[in-house]
Amino acid sequence: MKYQRLSTRQNLAMTWWNRPGFEVYDGIICDGSIRSGKTVAMTVGFIMWAMTRFDGCNFAICGKTIESLRRNVTSNLPVWLAGVFSFKEHRTENKIVVSANGKSNSFYLFGGKDESSAALIQGITLAGILLDEVALMPESFVNQATARCSVEGAKLWFNCNPEGPSHWFYTKWVLEASRRKMLHLHFNMDDNLSLSASVKARYESLYSGVFYDRFIRGLWVVAEGLIYPHFGENCITDEDPPAGRYYISVDYGTLNPFSAGLWCVTKQGAVRINEYYYSGRGTQEQLTDEEYYQAIRELADGYNVDYVVIDPSAASFITTVFRHNEFHVVKANNDVMDGIRRTSVYLKSDKLKIHRRCKDAIREFGLYRWDEDSTVDKVIKADDHAMDDIRYFANTILVRHFPVMR
């Protein structure tokens, strides 16, 4: 994407550190909608600030994972800053050396995906830090990272899309921005002057419910009501798709329901063409892993199934499927919020449909709700077994066919 013009907010996010009167700030927080140009403005500004004010110092650029950081941020630096700075990446050290006019600084890459990540950034002394998608990182990692910034003149740079209003970053940083001497800029898609009206309209059409409020409106709002409020007749089909690639997704249960869906993926999208659903608690008869395996075989009968995607916690059932050596097994990506978000986007964009014969999946879509008593994003753990196997499929298989970017 070419950024030919900058909005007022993008310009400020990029140059605040060099403006009269802004020297009182110890850092900047940019939050708001997706595709609003936060990342490019902040990253360019961060590099320009570091190279203008320091020489021979260490800095950190952090993302949820180093892989996502390279894909979304650092791989674009030579394009965004072509002809201004030279970049040399040392991949084994997760380091980028930036040079210009006799100055040189090192920018280390860190991933903050879980609580153990805090240990990775210990010990280093930093002159500044950029945390991309900070709301996706654990508080312990962010606390450790900011504590590393002990060089005189160091500043903190944060950007993120909103989460819930009880999220630690919102309560401790966004709402406390003034006390912490942080410049707070709130973005929306209109701040990205490179987006056409049709592109903005397409993004707006992809989200609904809490994801629309957060990703499009850029609001820190609570998750409430139905998780897929847009699910209806438009998401249900009576037609079987033409031949495609076939997959089975499994949410394993013993007393809790066992749910499996058979999927056909074509160039147009995916259809859940059949399912198997069994509740040991409902029937008062618990089945064995071997009996569940035979049910999967019957579900797959007549189809060449590429992979069976299974909840990674279902160790005994995965072992059973492996032992028969009939299906290729993939352990599901079990990130709940990412899975729900992707499923929602696929439903809204007609990339995921449910055949009318899949009655249990259709029933659960009408019952699957957010836990409104929780202070964090959490689903009510009831009537969610087909919902879980659908989420595994969307988050593990369908994303390979139709990538969904946040």
Q: Using DSSP, state whether 322 is helix, strand or coil.
A: helix
Residue 313: pLDDT band (50, 70, 90) is very high
In this structure, the answer to whether residues 295 and 364 fall within a common structural domain is yes
Q: Which domain holds residue 109?
A: 8-195
Q: Are residues 149 and 269 in the same domain?
A: no
Is residue 203 in a domain? Answer: no
Q: Is residue 2 part of a domain?
A: no
pLDDT for residue 132 is more than 90 = yes
Q: pLDDT higher for 131 or 75?
A: 131
pLDDT band of residue 1 (cuts 50, 70, 90) is: very low
The β-bridge partners of 198 are: none
**Domain contains 228:** no
Look-up of token digits 């994972």:
65
Same domain, yes or no, for 271 and 157? no
> Do 287 and 178 belong to one domain?
no
Instruction: Give residue 106's pLDDT.
Output: 98
Check residue 4 and give its pLDDT: 60
CATH for 93: 3.40.50.300
Q: Which 3 state secondary structure label does DSSP give 107? A: strand
- Whose CA is closest to 399, among 344, 348, 342, 341? 342
- The crossing angle, in degrees rounded to 10, of helices 197-206 and 336-348 is 120
- The CATH number covering residue 384 comes to 3.30.420.280
CB 400, CB 342: distance < 8 Å:
no
Q: Which tokens belong to 12?
A: 């400020």
Do 171 and 225 touch, CB atoms closer than 8 A?
no
Q: Is residue 109 located within the same domain as residue 28?
A: yes
Q: What is the pTM (predicted TM-score) of this model?
A: 0.79
Examine residue 221 and state whether it is found in any structural domain, yes or no. Answer: no
DSSP 216: I
Residue 292 placed within a domain: yes
26-62: pLDDT as tens digits: 999 999 999 999 999 999 999 999 999 999 999 999 9
Q: Quick one: pLDDT at residue 90?
A: 95
Mean pLDDT, to the nearest integer, of 118-142? 93
Q: What is the residue-averaged pLDDT of the chain?
A: 93
Q: Which long-range contacts (CB under 8 A, 24 or more apart) does 238-245 make?
A: 238/355, 238/356, 240/264, 240/271, 240/273, 240/355, 241/266, 241/268, 241/271, 241/273, 242/266, 245/306
Q: Are residues 149 and 241 in the same domain?
A: no
Instruction: Report pLDDT for 2.
Output: 46
Same domain assignment for residues 287 and 190:
no
Which whole number is the average pLDDT over 246-267? 95
Residue 405 confidence (pLDDT) above 80: no
Q: Quick: pLDDT tens for 372-385.
A: 888 889 999 988 99
Asked if residues 137 and 112 have their Cβ atoms less than 8 Å apart, the reply is yes
Do 186 and 257 reside in the same domain of the chain?
no
Q: Are residues 189 and 274 in the same domain?
A: no
Q: What is the 3-state secondary structure (H, E, C) of 147-196?
A: HCECCCCCEEEEEECCCCCCCHHHHHHHCCCCCCCEEEEEECHHHCCCCC
Give the tens place of pLDDT for each residue, 140-183: 999 999 999 999 999 999 999 999 999 999 999 999 999 999 99
Distance CA 79, CA 312 (A): 39
∠ Cα 210 215 220 (to 5°): 60
> What is the β-pairing status of strands 155-160 and 27-32?
parallel
Q: What is the mean pLDDT of residues 67-79?
A: 90
Q: Tell me: pLDDT of 406 over 80.
A: no
How many separate domains does the chain show?
2
Strand order in the sheet with 245-251: 236-237, 352-355, 269-278, 258-266, 245-251, 305-310, 329-331
Residue 210: phi, psi to the nearest 5?
Answer: -65, -35
Per-residue pLDDT at 125: 96
Q: Are residues 239 and 337 in the same domain?
A: yes
DSSP string, 346-363: HHHTTSEEEETT-HHHHH
Q: Residues 114, 163: one domain?
A: yes
The answer on 100 and 162 residing in a single domain is yes
Report d(CA 96, CA 71) in Å as an integer. Answer: 14
Assess whether pLDDT exceeds 80 at residue 282: no
**Domain stop point among 175, 195, 215:** 195
- Least confident among 88-92, 332-336, 402-406: 402-406
Minimum mean pLDDT range among 10-24, 188-202, 204-218, 272-286 = 272-286
For residue 116, what pLDDT is reported?
Answer: 84
Residue after which a domain boundary falls, among 137, 168, 195: 195
Tell me if 208 is assigned to some domain. Answer: no
- Which pLDDT value is given to residue 55? 97
- Residue finishing a domain among 179, 195, 211: 195
